[in-house]
């Protein structure tokens, strides 16, 4: 037996998808300059300047109820590329060498995550002044990297099927962009709010409508 569902004229039709439009300026943090530019065709641009970090993003957005979801053009978890890897039998831990055009970009500002015991334990280490991270743990099942000045979704450079313990990686230009993966905003009239997150770990983040073209 099977059933065929026919249209019911008495059932309410789904309301059309809502869109937002205009420039929304972010507030809530001193010395931060940031704004969204939302277009009625479902596209957006974003710029951000705070301290030493100048970043931007572009992509599409959708509105579901009072939730604004952003989909940046940047692929999340793509800020580092493995250029060399090997297994060193005489080494007990894991070493990650991070290369960049300028050593200042990776000196003391890249956080490494080592997951062990089937992801039940996570060890973190910060890169040293030469851009090197060393985990004194023989069983790192998964390795991730996240830039602390330009944070985004962490980049996985090793999974549990990879037995190597030495890695060289390159910092990608994409670190200046944002993916916005997992960051949703709540629409409250002409104001957007969001919870603290990997990109903006601040309380009381608000983006207020500034003007409409």
Is residue 157 within 8 Å of 171, Cβ to Cβ? no
Band the pLDDT of 2: cuts 50, 70, 90.
very low
pLDDT at residue 102 greater than cutoff 50: yes
Please provide the CATH number assigned to the domain covering 22-74+177-211.
Answer: 2.40.128.360
Judge whether 59 and 69 are in contact, CB under 8 Å: no
Residue 20 CA from chain centroid, whole number: 23
| pLDDT for res 18 | 67
Instruction: Give the position of tokens 């200046």.
Output: 176
Write down the domain spans for the chain.
22-74+177-211, 80-175
- Please say if the pLDDT value at position 17 is more than 50: no
> Tokens at residue 72, please?
């940046």
Tokens describing residue 192: 């957007």
Q: What pTM did the predictor assign?
A: 0.86
User: pLDDT category, 11, cuts 50, 70, 90?
Assistant: very low
Residue 84 to residue 94: CA distance in whole angstroms: 14
Tens digit of each residue's pLDDT (9 = 90 or more) over 43-86:
999 999 988 889 999 999 999 999 999 999 999 999 999 999 99
Residue with tokens 């944070």: 151
pLDDT tier for residue 213 given thresholds of 50, 70 and 90: low
Percent of the chain with pLDDT over 90: 76
Radius of gyration of the chain (CA): 22
Q: Domain 80-175 carries which CATH code?
A: 2.60.40.1120
Q: What is the 3-state secondary structure (H, E, C) of the chain?
A: CCCCCCCCCCCCCCCCCCCCCEEEEEECCCCEEEEEEECCCCEEEEEEEECCEEEEEEEEEEEECCEEEEEECCCCCCCEEEEEEECCCCCCCEEEEEECCCHHHCCCCEEEEEEECCCCEEEEEECCCCCEEEECCCCCCEEEEEECCCCCCCEEEECCCCCCCEEEEEECHHHHECCCCCCEEEEECCEEEECCCCCCCCCCEEEEEEECC
Residues 66, 199: Cα–Cα separation, whole Å: 22
Report how far residue 167's alpha carbon sits from residue 135's, in angstroms, rounded to the nearest whole number.
Answer: 12
192 by DSSP, 3-state: which? strand
Mean pLDDT of 25-39: 90
Predicted confidence at residue 89, as pLDDT, reads 87
């Amino acid at each position: 037996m099977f059933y065929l569902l026919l249209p019911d004229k008495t059932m309410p039709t789904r309301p059309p998808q809502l869109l937002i439009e205009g420039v929304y300026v972010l507030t809530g943090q001193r010395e931060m300059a940031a704004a969204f530019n939302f277009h009625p065709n479902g596209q957006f641009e974003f710029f951000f300047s705070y301290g030493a970090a100048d970043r931007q993003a572009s992509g599409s957005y959708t509105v579901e109820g009072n939730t604004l979801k952003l989909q940046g053009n940047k692929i999340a978890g793509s800020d580092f590329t493995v250029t060399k890897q090997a297994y060193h039998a005489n080494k007990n831990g894991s070493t990650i060498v991070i290369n960049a055009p300028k050593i200042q970009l990776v000196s003391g500002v890249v956080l490494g995550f080592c997951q062990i015991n089937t992801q039940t334990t996570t060890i973190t280490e910060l890169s040293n002044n030469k851009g090197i991270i060393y985990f004194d743990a023989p069983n790192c099942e998964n390795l991730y990297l996240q830039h602390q000045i330009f944070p985004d979704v962490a980049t996985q450079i090793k999974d549990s099927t990879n037995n190597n313990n030495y890695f060289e990686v390159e910092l990608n230009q994409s670190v200046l962009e944002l993916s916005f993966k997992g960051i949703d905003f709540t629409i409250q009239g002409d104001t957007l709010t969001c919870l603290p997150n990997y990109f903006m770990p601040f309380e009381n983040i608000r983006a207020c409508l500034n003007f409409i073209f």
